Structure 1
Amino acid sequence: MSGSARRPVRRRTFVLGSAATAAGVALSGPLAGTAQAASFGYTDDGSNYVIDTGANLVFKVSKTNGDLTSLVYRGTEYQGYDGKNSHVESGLGTSTVTIAQSGSTILVSVTYGTLRHYYAARSGENNVYVWTNKADTSVSATRYIVRVKAGLFLNDEPDSYTYAPTTIEAADVFAKSDGQTRSKHYSKLRAIDYNYVGWTTGSVGLYVVRSNHEKASGGPFYRSLLRHQSAAGGGLYEILYYGENQTEAQRFGLKGPYVIAFTDGGTPSAALFPGTLTTSWADSLGISGYVAAGGRGRVAGVGISGRDTAYAYTVGLANSAAQYWGSARASDGYFSVSGVLPGTYTLTVFKGELAVYTSSVTVTAGATTTLNTIAIPSSNDPANASAIWRIGTWDGTPNGFKNAALMTYAHPSDPRAAAWTGNVVIGSGSEAASFPAYIWQGVNSGLLVYFKLTAAQAAAAHTLRIGVTTAYANGRPRVTVNSWVSAIPSPPTQPSTRSLTVGSYRGNNYTFAYSVPASAWLADTSQYNVLKIDVVSGSGTTAYLSAGTSFDALDLLS
């Protein structure tokens, strides 16, 4: 179905098991042009290997380049739009493609230079298991996109740009007729927040179940595009290295499996989820870089003390080769991270998204590394410092600030956003809600914060702290207190690509500290001192693409 004149029938859509619900009317798609085989097995049609799972799914893989050229579920073709197939990145060139059957498993192997890519089918399952082994930068990104025909599913969530005719930034951020913004970047979700992404009509569901991301980059709080729709069709993604808003170098090696899963309208089986999926059936298939469960280890901690129980804590493991994470139990901080490749890792404890503890841990194949209670030093959490006043919470995110919640699924120009301008008065009771999550050089630089000091406070020097979560174009805060002006701080290391306008505040948390002398304060305690925050940089362009930064918290220490 082309996407021009006909509007798709409205129906339910799902991401991570939460639903945006509309009337559930089924829409039949075009029938497949080939007959299904009678049972599990594969054939060669000359151009493709044709795999029948023996359930309700028949898929094809190109013998030329390893593209997934067909996905027929219950007789309906779901794959493809604009003449494009489903594939790694934007498609590989001429490749060596082979197929083999081993009992109840069929494996298609694709070799493209140093890259190895695999599709596996299991007898009686409506799933395609996918691995990608990237050895170097010869393929720029590590992305798999499942391209889906138009009209089969509706997605009017923020990460959809269906019916969004006006382009407002680059070629990937759009506005609907009411001004609300849409982009494939606006998924709302961090890697830790979801197990799968996809759509359902109520009678058919199509999903990509993510891998454990052990060879991805960015950690548990990384955000990237997960799906999109346009008039041409829809896309579901597994993003393992995208090169946008990345805080780490990319990792090489075998990534996966991630799973293309069809259902009868429900969510994918939890048995496919990262952390629960077992693939012992793949141990002997000869997949390059594959490490079976017996070649992996586990890290377990009996608890974490020194936590602020108002926050969720996450434990991450990372080195240059792999990354993992797990949630700490709310009651005592117990954690367990399994399926870890052998090696020495940096262990990081996050309060919210703010790192408050690091150490080193070594993992051995077939063994559990057990850690005694981790004690977070009080000084590691900036929230423990005594402050005259504080705006926001030290949790590594802009949560609680003005427009923060909206910014993971909308452009800053969206009409639903409150005005980015406006000043803040300490003691008003609405400090955080009045303080903008982001400040840009060309939009709202020069924010004013009004506050009073006692005579004793005004007689002493104090440290002003401003915590940020990321920056665009080297934007960083320079402060003025009454007539005292700080030096321009050096920019911390941050991602070089767009972030604030594509749904992500996640960069490298950094705290700027300004030593404000006693001479800066007003002697009259009845008067408001005025803090001015400007964003400075020699980079960026205009408006929301001018230099900017995202805030975690700010305070004036006692």
Structure 2
Amino acid sequence: MSGSANRPVRRRTFVLGGAAAAGSAALPATASAAGFGWRDDGSHYVVDTGAQLVFKVSKSNGDLTSLVYRGTEYQGYGGRNSHIESGLGSSAVSIRQSGSTILVSVTYGTLKHYYAARSGENNIYLWTNKADTSVSATRYIVRVKAGLFRNDQPDSYTYAPTAIEASDVFRKSDGQTRSKHYARLRVMDYSYVGWSAGQVGLWMVRSNHEKASGGPFYRSLLRHQSADGGGLYEILYYGQNQTEAERFGLQGPYVIAFTDGGAPSSSLFPGTLTTPWADSLGLLGYVPASGRGRVAGVGISGRDTAYPYTVGLANSAAQYWGSARAADGYFSVGGVLPGTYTLTVHKGELAVLTTSVSVSAGGTTTLNTLAVPSSNDPADANAIWRIGDWNGTPGGFKNADLMTYAHPSDVRAAAWTGNVVIGSGSETSAFPCYLWKDVNSGILVYFRLTAAQAAAAHTLRIGVTTAYADGRPQVTVNDTWTSAVPAPPTQPNTRSLTNGSYRGNNHTFTYSVPASAWRTDTGQYNVLRIDIVSGSGSTGYLSAGTSIDAIDLLA
């Protein structure tokens, strides 16, 4: 196909899919399985699904070297294949057919990787078992030829020739920013990612992420596209702004799916996909449905019905989550490996209740109504004033939505500076979602107190969702009282605020402000100054910083 490097000749559609799109899903192709089978061409195992997909796996290293759908090659750019991480190197690769399933097995040290094809389907099912840290395997990437799909989304590079940070964040000539990190979505928000171009859709349907880390609200790169080509990712473990230790074991299946341009079938989605046909394949670490359990909760009381609630299960071996029903808080989390888990109830993204639950194979652990104590939800405390909502996110603050798909320097961002007046009606929308030592430290909040309020000491709270380079707030009231420098809470030690993620460890800083700090003239404004302090960080948007959840002064 001819055309410039920046734009193909024909118009094509670029899609990020989520569970909400399941209703329009196209079923897997099953028109014909006449050609189903495999052959050895000397260097590759060549698998024909008997539908419209033929793929090749290298016999030397397990790379996926060809993806031919309806006669068109989709695999590869820059001479690179699709594979685990950046390629495993010399591996033991074998193939066998079991009825209507063909399985290719790859062994590289302690790592096992599998490709499976089903007769009559345009899908490739993948599993990866990383046993330990001796092998680097943080992702599977499907590399796609350039020019096959439109390229104009936040995670695209083509229109952004100027690198502005770490060689993976770019600025376009119009001032907008692009990066493969900028996909907007949390893990729980999507079931698949990919592209659609006329009569062809190419998708990566994610696994249930039980062996990944970071929980339901985690954000990581999902896809990229540049002048060289595109990539679809299944992240096995991602270190950027990571809040948990790496988990090991079998992850999958995740699915490379071709369609006639529509979304992949909802039958492939995590939580929906069943693979009884894989029970007898001998996949290392595979646990069939019969070896898993379920946790179901009658409901959750003490909820703030203005917010969604999510229930998460986690231990060192696995993680799961499910949404609580808006009406009563009922929840059900299935497909859980046997074990004891910490169950966490989240209001938005803020943990408001934790307990322990045990799961057994083939059983359902039923929980009575879980009660969220009012003391666990900071929003229940009586406040003189409050900026933002206690929900574990910077939602509602200035630039908050933009920061999930753009760099802070993006031309679309409102000024990061500017002070706030309590009672103006725009306290939250005027307050920046992020504060940096080198950008907007020293922001001022103006507020009045009654005589009775000014006569008493009060607690000031600042909730944060993550921090970069140990950035934390120190406060000064009326230039007469300054708090001590608080200790830095445990936070990820990588980039966060500049790569589309505010998700770290929620933490609340509290400051006991004495009565002597307040102005006694009720007609005068009190002035709160918030400075970001740290001995770490660089300059500008990579200086020490933090993301704001809520700020309030308690009565």
Please, what TM-score do these two structures have when normalized by structure 2?
A: 0.96
Q: How far off its partner does 1:38 sit?
A: 6.0
Query: What is the CA deviation profile of residues 249-285 of structure 1, one whole-angstrom value per residue up to 9, with x for unaligned ones?
Result: 0100000000000000000000000000000000000
Q: For 1:536, which of 533, 537, 544 is the aligned residue?
A: 533
Q: Distance in 2 between matches of 1:329 and 1:18?
A: 16
Alignment of 1:540-551 (within 5 A): 540-551=537-548
Q: For 2:507, which of 491, 510, 514 is the aligned residue?
A: 510
Equivalent position of 2:119 in the other structure: 123
The 1:141–1:460 alpha-carbon spacing in structure 2 relative to 1, beyond 3 Å, is farther
Equivalent position of 1:7 in the other structure: 7
Q: For 1:378, which of 371, 374, 379 is the aligned residue?
A: 374
Q: Distance in 2 between matches of 1:133 and 1:210?
A: 15
DSSP-derived class of the 1:457 partner: helix
Q: Distance in 2 between matches of 1:274 and 1:212?
A: 5
The answer to whether 1:526 aligns with 2:523 is yes
Alignment of 1:193-204 (within 5 A): 193-204=189-200
Query: What is the CA deviation profile of residues 83-118 of structure 1, one whole-angstrom value per residue up to 9, with x for unaligned ones?
Result: 000000111010000000000000000000000000
The 1:230–1:18 alpha-carbon spacing in structure 2 relative to 1, beyond 3 Å, is farther
Alignment of 1:87-166 (within 5 A): 87-166=83-162
Q: Distance in 2 between matches of 1:38 and 1:273?
A: 27
The letter of the residue matching 2:162 is T
Q: Distance in 1 between matches of 2:532 and 2:546?
A: 8
| Conserved? CA contact 2:19–2:191, under 8 Å | no
| Conserved? CA contact 1:540–1:547, under 8 Å | yes
DSSP-derived class of the 2:35 partner: coil
| Conserved? CA contact 2:310–2:348, under 8 Å | yes
The letter of the residue matching 1:340 is V
Query: What is the CA deviation profile of residues 363-406 of structure 1, one whole-angstrom value per residue up to 9, with x for unaligned ones?
Result: 00000000000010011000000000000000000000000010
Equivalent position of 1:23 in the other structure: none
Percent identical among aligned pairs is 82
The answer to whether 1:324 aligns with 2:325 is no
Q: For 1:416, which of 407, 412, 416 is the aligned residue?
A: 412
The letter of the residue matching 1:520 is A
| Conserved? CA contact 2:36–2:49, under 8 Å | yes
The 1:37–1:455 alpha-carbon spacing in structure 2 relative to 1, beyond 3 Å, is closer
The 1:413–1:265 alpha-carbon spacing in structure 2 relative to 1, beyond 3 Å, is same
Equivalent position of 2:27 in the other structure: none
The answer to whether 1:16 aligns with 2:17 is yes
Equivalent position of 2:24 in the other structure: none
The answer to whether 1:208 aligns with 2:201 is no
Q: How far off its partner does 1:11 sit?
A: 1.4
Equivalent position of 2:304 in the other structure: 308
Equivalent position of 2:466 in the other structure: 470
- Structure 2 gap ranges (5+): 22-31
Equivalent position of 1:455 in the other structure: 451
| Conserved? CA contact 1:2–1:232, under 8 Å | no
Query: What is the CA deviation profile of residues 409-433 of structure 1, one whole-angstrom value per residue up to 9, with x for unaligned ones?
Result: 0000001000000000000000001
Equivalent position of 1:355 in the other structure: 351
Once structures 1 and 2 are overlaid, which stretch shifts more, 449-458 or 1-10? 1-10
The letter of the residue matching 1:15 is L
Equivalent position of 1:28 in the other structure: none
Query: What is the CA deviation profile of residues 167-216 of structure 1, one whole-angstrom value per residue up to 9, with x for unaligned ones?
Result: 11111000111010000000000000000000001210000000000000
Q: How far off its partner does 1:19 sit?
A: 12
The letter of the residue matching 2:224 is H
The answer to whether 1:67 aligns with 2:63 is yes
Query: What is the CA deviation profile of residues 322-343 of structure 1, one whole-angstrom value per residue up to 9, with x for unaligned ones?
Result: 0000000000000000000000
| Conserved? CA contact 1:3–1:231, under 8 Å | no
| Conserved? CA contact 1:155–1:199, under 8 Å | no
The letter of the residue matching 2:411 is P
Equivalent position of 2:383 in the other structure: 387
The letter of the residue matching 2:35 is S
Alignment of 1:479-518 (within 5 A): 479-482=475-478, 483-518=480-515
Q: Distance in 2 between matches of 1:270 and 1:7?
A: 31
| Conserved? CA contact 1:100–1:106, under 8 Å | yes
The 1:431–1:74 alpha-carbon spacing in structure 2 relative to 1, beyond 3 Å, is same
The letter of the residue matching 1:442 is D
| Conserved? CA contact 1:87–1:146, under 8 Å | yes
Equivalent position of 2:436 in the other structure: 440
Query: What is the CA deviation profile of residues 46-100 of structure 1, one whole-angstrom value per residue up to 9, with x for unaligned ones?
Result: 1100000000000000000000000000000000000000000111010000000
| Conserved? CA contact 1:343–1:364, under 8 Å | yes
Q: Distance in 1 between matches of 2:440 and 2:267?
A: 48
The answer to whether 1:275 aligns with 2:276 is no
Equivalent position of 1:552 in the other structure: 549
Q: Distance in 2 between matches of 1:327 and 1:183?
A: 30
Q: Distance in 1 between matches of 2:340 and 2:142?
A: 35
| Conserved? CA contact 2:224–2:232, under 8 Å | yes
DSSP-derived class of the 1:432 partner: helix
The answer to whether 1:56 aligns with 2:52 is yes
- CA RMSD in angstroms, aligned pairs only: 1.5
The 1:177–1:360 alpha-carbon spacing in structure 2 relative to 1, beyond 3 Å, is same
| Conserved? CA contact 2:33–2:119, under 8 Å | no
Q: Distance in 1 between matches of 2:130 and 2:172?
A: 38
Q: Distance in 1 between matches of 2:18 and 2:328?
A: 28
| Conserved? CA contact 1:468–1:509, under 8 Å | yes
Q: How far off its partner does 1:157 sit?
A: 1.5
DSSP-derived class of the 1:189 partner: coil
Q: Distance in 2 between matches of 1:531 and 1:193?
A: 37
Q: How far off its partner does 1:136 sit?
A: 0.7
- Structure 1 gap ranges (5+): 21-35
Q: How far off its partner does 1:362 sit?
A: 0.1
| Conserved? CA contact 1:141–1:242, under 8 Å | no
| Conserved? CA contact 1:3–1:233, under 8 Å | no
Alignment of 1:31-42 (within 5 A): 39-42=35-38
Once structures 1 and 2 are overlaid, which stretch shifts more, 323-332 or 155-164? 155-164
DSSP-derived class of the 2:212 partner: coil
Q: How far off its partner does 1:523 sit?
A: 1.1
The letter of the residue matching 2:466 is T
| Conserved? CA contact 2:58–2:64, under 8 Å | yes
Q: Distance in 1 between matches of 2:171 and 2:134?
A: 35
Q: For 1:344, which of 340, 343, 361 is the aligned residue?
A: 340
| Conserved? CA contact 1:106–1:120, under 8 Å | yes
Query: What is the CA deviation profile of residues 337-366 of structure 1, one whole-angstrom value per residue up to 9, with x for unaligned ones?
Result: 000000000000000000000000000000
Q: Distance in 2 between matches of 1:139 and 1:195?
A: 27
Runs of 4+ off more than 2 Å? 1-7, 17-20
Please, what TM-score do these two structures have when normalized by structure 1?
A: 0.96
Q: For 2:360, which of 342, 355, 364 is the aligned residue?
A: 364
Q: Distance in 2 between matches of 1:73 and 1:38?
A: 16
DSSP-derived class of the 2:67 partner: strand
Q: Distance in 1 between matches of 2:151 and 2:404?
A: 17
Q: Distance in 1 between matches of 2:339 and 2:422?
A: 49
